[in-house]
Structure 1
Amino acid sequence: MSYADVNGLHLWYETHGSGRPLVLLHGGYGAAEMFAPVLPALAQRRQVIAVDLQGHGRTADVDRPLRYETMAEDVAALLRHLDLSDVDVLGYSLGGGVALRTAIQHPGLVRRLVLVSTPCRRQGWYPEVLAAMAGQDERVGERMRGTPPHELYARIAPRPEDWPRLWAKGGDLLRREYDWSAEVAALTVPTMLVYADADSIPVTHMAEFFGLLGGGRRDAGWDGTDRPASRLAVLPGLTHYDIIAAPALPAAVLPFLTHEVRAPQ
């Protein structure tokens, strides 16, 4: 477990295993511990670098808003601090947005990208999910005291009293409109999208996102010659909230990370 001083942030990260680096970026109001159920399977094959993003987990907040773009800059700065490039990045939900922005803003640092339960535009969430996001603020954070995410935060955060502040800043982030469709369509980083079949994101948006990456446009051919570099996995019997702990997740992701894929045309 270590800290890196990047962009005015005391950024926490930990490493497990050995091999080609795989960066893990957690979901909102969480920490690297979100990956605990799948970490052993991933660390058997890769050097895993799990990060606590700004204001989350062991990384104290600083005087700037929470934004996908600035958190992506933090991840890029950490990779440079560690003298790493050509790494794989896996992000879940909020962390998926950060992972996607990292690949968009710093494509030379990312070899392969895995996005778990992540849309490419804000309107990619179900309407009821957007409504819940819009209502997140300090009062909601207070009501979340005593829940497992709060108990973890209270145990590991440098300033546990910042819990309501995290919800206020998180709500501000989640209310902001974004649409990265054009930038996604221009990506050259081989990308895998992973969703639950009962996710917070409709299947129509999963297909839209996959199409932007070059997937779902034609038959791959009997020998797979026309298979796109992108991948799409919809894991059965799961939701947005338990996909991150499912054994099916590393089982789906590791072949994409370890096998050769054709570069996008």
Structure 2
Amino acid sequence: MPDLLLLHGALGAASTLYPLQQLLAADHTVHTLDFSGHGGKALPQAPFRIELFAEDVLRYLDQHQLQQVAIFGYSMGGYVALYLALRHPDRVSRIFTLATKFAWSAETAAKEVKMLQPEKVQEKVPAFAAVLANRHQPQDWQEVMRRTADMMQHLGSQPLLTEETLSRLAIPVRVSVGDRDNMVSLQETAWAYEHLPDAELQVFPGTQHPLEKVDLGQLQHEIRQFFGRAAV
């Protein structure tokens, strides 16, 4: 069966993708991984960066002797997938992104970082803090969050996906977003679609940003349809 790699989002882990992985297992050999510092993996000495996470993926491909792979990337995972394909175009055959934020500036980064204050999260949404603590143990979820905020601020000043870089990505890409996503706009998703040479744009109705609130049955259907074309 063809290989398909699933990449998780910021503050996520491979475990968040297990339900989707199970749905797709009948049609693909499905792979997933934890980015550095996520899902219990050791916190790296280097700061969190998209480039670091792309190296995690490349290392995984090499370790599993995967010369080329198709990728589904949720949120930050989609950004990592596109950046990896730009740096190593021979290793990625096609990409499907969901809820990936493309509009990065100092202003948008500042808005995102406001929601990534561990002390406030612990106080105001303790249930979410408990989820993060369990997801990233034995690592400190608060440190994971602080490093994620730092990464977003860096991305706000130096975005990696621009009109120029996206225009060089020749592989088939589908960018998708939920119509009720309050973190990623249809406008920025359409912007990416317009600058990718071989792209499709999809809007999931009644869909918010959190992966836990996505209709996985519908997502499975769309992923199978998109990646199934490669075998035709």
TM over 0.5: same fold? yes
Structure-2 separation of matches of 1:240 and 1:115: 12
Q: Are 1:198 and 1:237, in contact at CA under 8 Å, matched by a contact in 2?
A: yes
Q: Are 2:217 and 1:247 equivalent residues in the alignment?
A: yes
Deviation readout 1:122-160 (Å, 9 max, x if unpaired): 14x9x5x85142452442454477424x44444454524
Structure-2 separation of matches of 1:79 and 1:260: 19
Q: Are 1:28 and 1:94, in contact at CA under 8 Å, matched by a contact in 2?
A: yes
Who wins on radius of gyration, i.e. which is larger? 1
Q: Are 2:143 and 1:165 equivalent residues in the alignment?
A: yes
How many residue pairs match? The answer is 226
Alignment of 1:1-150 (within 5 A): 19-123=1-105, 131-134=111-114, 136-140=116-120, 142-143=122-123, 146-148=126-128, 150=129
1:155 to 1:139, Cα distance in 2 relative to 1, 3 A: closer
Q: Are 1:184 and 1:213, in contact at CA under 8 Å, matched by a contact in 2?
A: yes
Letter of the aligned partner of 2:8 in structure 1? H
RMSD: 2.6
Q: Are 2:193 and 1:210 equivalent residues in the alignment?
A: yes
Structure-1 separation of matches of 2:226 and 2:193: 15
Deviation readout 1:194-243 (Å, 9 max, x if unpaired): 110112222222221111013xxxxxxxxxxxxxx422211101111145
Q: Are 2:98 and 2:175, in contact at CA under 8 Å, matched by a contact in 1?
A: yes
Deviation readout 1:67-86 (Å, 9 max, x if unpaired): 00111011111101111122
Runs of 4+ in 1 over 6 A off after TM superposition: none
Percent sequence identity over aligned pairs: 26
**3-state SS of 1:91 partner:** strand
Q: Which moved more, 1:83-92 or 1:139-148?
A: 139-148
Structure-2 separation of matches of 1:189 and 1:45: 21
Deviation at 1:24, TM superposition (A): 0.9
Structure-2 separation of matches of 1:44 and 1:80: 24
- The structure with the largest helix share of the pair is 2
Structure 1 portions without partners, runs of 5+: 1-18, 215-228
Letter of the aligned partner of 1:49 in structure 2? H
TM-score by length of 2: 0.86
Structure 2 portions without partners, runs of 5+: none
**3-state SS of 1:122 partner:** coil
- The structure with the largest strand share of the pair is 1
Structure-1 separation of matches of 2:230 and 2:95: 14
Q: Which moved more, 1:240-249 or 1:100-109?
A: 240-249
Structure-2 separation of matches of 1:245 and 1:184: 28
Structure-2 separation of matches of 1:250 and 1:130: 33
